[in-house]
Structure 1
């Protein structure tokens, strides 16, 4: 046996027994599927699973940063995966993480570190993460993560309270949840001699209250109803928006891809009595035109609502502001529900004033599409990177037969969003990037427009994420700027290889994928050994199996 310090990760499924009781076969099948990609996440974050039991997973990591980053990736991927199921059948994990001294025996880990991680997992919210103070101190200044201090917690079989923190999880709209404060450690028990006194006081109070209620008439005041009494006199039908959003449960990219949400721009405000329609995200140009003209010109009371899937609702000439708010939200939500959109509607404007608090979604720099005849090829659903089979079936059934203009945006963690039947390529690419970015929390990439893949799609190796040379830890730091510069100089197929010392080899402006790969490997062996390809085109890549 040997002792060591490790970051311990404990996870299990909330309500697992109920899920099994309701449908054992389906639950076990989904558990196996979820475990497959959870295990993949853990392995890619340098973790090691040392014990499993039923729905529980115990893993060790060399650092708290790796453990917390992995936990966030798992929870965000699971959250989107669960959207395909009704709330009663969603399979959500709780995760606890601590740093502790553990004993390794035959590959298993034992000790207080393991026990505390399991207790922290029990404190976590459904779909949430709870960490010890030691983990918080290690991670707070290294990851863009928000925490809520829940204080000292008294947990089973641990003699002293454990000071714990909740990780604030990112919602679908890019904002962060506020973790609920758990019950703090209990104070010492009252001395036995106090109980008669307490009972006596409570009895006196109860008698007094009972007499007061008996002799006093209670009245309940009810205010006037404020429900909207009339339907909106003017409504808007958005341009055709048979959109589809999903998040593929593929392994999240390595730290080379953006893993934390980009700061959201401040929401626009109406400065001249007119709604700034050109800044409204997720919607088509016809609806923007309506907002700039008919809506802006209309008198109060009016409101406009939308969701990140592109559905909207508008109400004009209402009897009061609350009626306008309710009518716009109701119309938007009905449209979203009819299309089975999982995204909730929110108010964007009341009158001509923007009340939407999330700002604009993260967007990549322009141009959003760069056409290159050397790398473009016909769209084939089976070759779409980073999507599981279920998502590919949806793309095949919805995207392939849809009318132009259409596009699909892809996020670095396998998120995707498609906009179909838009009025122009500019509109479809803007909207798919906006919605995908809002879901992912980081800028997405246009992968397909109409019938064509508009970025190089690797087929020789498996796509694992987005490639960012400037932050890729596989490349030695003093060579990254040069790699960034050379990759940006031209079109065609590009590939990057690295060796054991992190020295890069490049294959640039090649006519085909194989040539780029061969050239990158040949260039790498001039400077390094044990070379392997890490990127093809805009993607990080790994072995096919």
Structure 2
């Protein structure tokens, strides 16, 4: 690990969960398009994306000036794109920027600089930019834009207020809008000695604790005590917070394994079997405001789901559950208030995550029996998640995993290869990957990795490895550049895309390849015995219909020249 000073850029889509709920497929397609815009601007301005999570982007810049210039370019470009949509379907980013001391670990950045940038993003207006005072000092005389001083702002999990500025964004007519000034933190009255505030707060807290203790004691005298801890089933008469068994999911780029032995809640479906004529039911979708269902809780183990069903769900007092996408979880029941329960659940979850060096922050998932998780259910591919096909399977070798960088491959060699069965790797179209090991069932291993990977990628990921075997075709004749979706392919003629997608969906065994010519007419090689046979068949069919044919997809992957 090394420390450095960097300009940290944090961006997030306003109202993303609502957009997904209204039209998931259209939102994901536009997200991919908008992310291409943001990624291009970040690269042109000398930035580097070091983390993504669904609709969120974290990037570093060597210069605050370049970070702000990049943010302005992004917002103006996306504002133009949004003009094609009604206001309810517009996809607008909030952006926060600060300069801070950060720690670099395996390509990821951690520290207060990252946290403050994320909080500034939350202060920004929809389609706006919020910067810290340190950034303002660097850019105020170097960029021809206006700023609005919004003063010191109290933000979550940052002990001292952050002095912030809004960047005035240009309107369609070329003028600049005046940002809506947030209410600054009020200073303490000059005549009040500093020691009086902690003393007053202490007295209030002591009074509240006394009242809460009396009410709790009275309640316990008239009702039976229930167990409230996963670690111990001994009845207790005081409010407690419970932690889950250690999770085993591991993210990219800082993937790690912590084997667990989750219990099965029900017989797992046979993911290795061929698809049945009637497709299996997908996992239930859940969003903020829904009723809490233990079996729908994402990221966590089956054993944790069982514990939530038996320990958390029946508890009737103030309670809360917190989790992160690595599967760490903490919950708190029998608390004197919901705020106390939320704080205890978050602290317990974060403590477990920090102890395991998980880079992901814990978030509230449920308060009482109501889901409050803002990100919704992570996107998952259709079932079955794993197909076993002897024609495409081959022994696992880390060097053959597509789309990964060398540090990611090193982590797989060090952590995945020696891991216990069952273990899987989920891969996303942008090189996102999650893996785990020591899981009791293939179903759970695949589910947890796909949920975590989908939450980061923002689109469904694919299980590419089970134990010691690749379970999808891994191209060797051409270089993998991403995932392939016929319906979204811009090089296939529009009238041909649906038919290509249909034929691919029916070709569930063997090797598939797609070639396309200058006029966008495709040629398909389906259900071939090997990669070369599929490629030759696709090219042969294409040249009968078009000219200048080239292969654009092999198996589930988009491909290009080596």
TM-score normalised according to structure 1 size: 0.63
The residue number in structure 2 matching 1:522 is 540
Distance 1:213 1:331, change over 3 A: closer
Q: What are the Cα deviations for residues 24-52 of structure 1, in whole angstroms up to 9, with x where unaligned?
A: xxxxxxxxxxxxxxxxxxxxxxxxxxxxx
Distance 1:416 1:405, change over 3 A: same
Distance 1:137 1:343, change over 3 A: same
Q: Is 1:267 equivalent to 2:288 in the alignment?
A: yes
The residue number in structure 2 matching 1:430 is 447
Q: By how many angstroms is 1:129 displaced?
A: 5.2
In structure 2, C-alpha distance between the alignment counterparts of 1:361 and 1:66, rounded to whole Å: 19
In structure 2, C-alpha distance between the alignment counterparts of 1:394 and 1:157, rounded to whole Å: 42
Q: Is 1:396 equivalent to 2:413 in the alignment?
A: yes
In structure 2, C-alpha distance between the alignment counterparts of 1:162 and 1:66, rounded to whole Å: 29
Q: What are the Cα deviations for residues 454-512 of structure 1, in whole angstroms up to 9, with x where unaligned?
A: 11111111100010011201111121122112212221101011111111111111100
In structure 1, C-alpha distance between the alignment counterparts of 2:504 and 2:455, rounded to whole Å: 28
Q: Structure 2 regions of 5+ residues with no counterpart?
A: 8-31, 54-58, 94-125, 130-135, 148-163, 176-188, 214-236, 255-284
1:245–1:417 contact (8 Å) kept in structure 2: yes
1:75–1:93 contact (8 Å) kept in structure 2: no
Q: By how many angstroms is 1:435 displaced?
A: 0.6
In structure 2, C-alpha distance between the alignment counterparts of 1:222 and 1:325, rounded to whole Å: 24
Q: What are the Cα deviations for residues 149-176 of structure 1, in whole angstroms up to 9, with x where unaligned?
A: 559x9987999x799xxxxxxxxxxxxx
The residue number in structure 2 matching 1:461 is 478
SS at match of 2:167: coil
In structure 2, C-alpha distance between the alignment counterparts of 1:303 and 1:347, rounded to whole Å: 7
The residue number in structure 1 matching 2:61 is 92
Distance 1:480 1:330, change over 3 A: same
Q: Is 1:71 equivalent to 2:38 in the alignment?
A: yes
Distance 1:82 1:510, change over 3 A: closer
SS at match of 2:389: coil
Distance 1:304 1:368, change over 3 A: same
In structure 1, C-alpha distance between the alignment counterparts of 2:289 and 2:166, rounded to whole Å: 34
2:514–2:538 contact (8 Å) kept in structure 1: yes
SS at match of 1:71: helix
In structure 2, C-alpha distance between the alignment counterparts of 1:290 and 1:337, rounded to whole Å: 22
The residue number in structure 2 matching 1:244 is 250
1:306–1:346 contact (8 Å) kept in structure 2: yes
In structure 2, C-alpha distance between the alignment counterparts of 1:333 and 1:396, rounded to whole Å: 28
Q: By how many angstroms is 1:372 displaced?
A: 1.3
In structure 1, C-alpha distance between the alignment counterparts of 2:461 and 2:80, rounded to whole Å: 32
Q: Is 1:123 equivalent to 2:68 in the alignment?
A: yes
In structure 2, C-alpha distance between the alignment counterparts of 1:474 and 1:376, rounded to whole Å: 29
Q: By how many angstroms is 1:234 displaced?
A: 5.5
Equivalent residues, number = 391
SS at match of 1:443: coil
Show the 5 A alignment for 1:140-219: 140-141=83-84, 145-147=91-93, 148-150=126-128, 181-183=166-168
In structure 2, C-alpha distance between the alignment counterparts of 1:356 and 1:287, rounded to whole Å: 17
Q: By how many angstroms is 1:124 displaced?
A: 4.5
1:411–1:437 contact (8 Å) kept in structure 2: yes
TM-score normalised according to structure 2 size: 0.61
Q: What are the Cα deviations for residues 103-162 of structure 1, in whole angstroms up to 9, with x where unaligned?
A: xxxxxxxxxxxxxxxx8x56348xx453475763245437974144559x9987999x79
Distance 1:413 1:231, change over 3 A: farther
2:75–2:128 contact (8 Å) kept in structure 1: no
The residue number in structure 1 matching 2:366 is 349
SS at match of 2:419: coil
Distance 1:374 1:402, change over 3 A: same
In structure 1, C-alpha distance between the alignment counterparts of 2:353 and 2:434, rounded to whole Å: 15
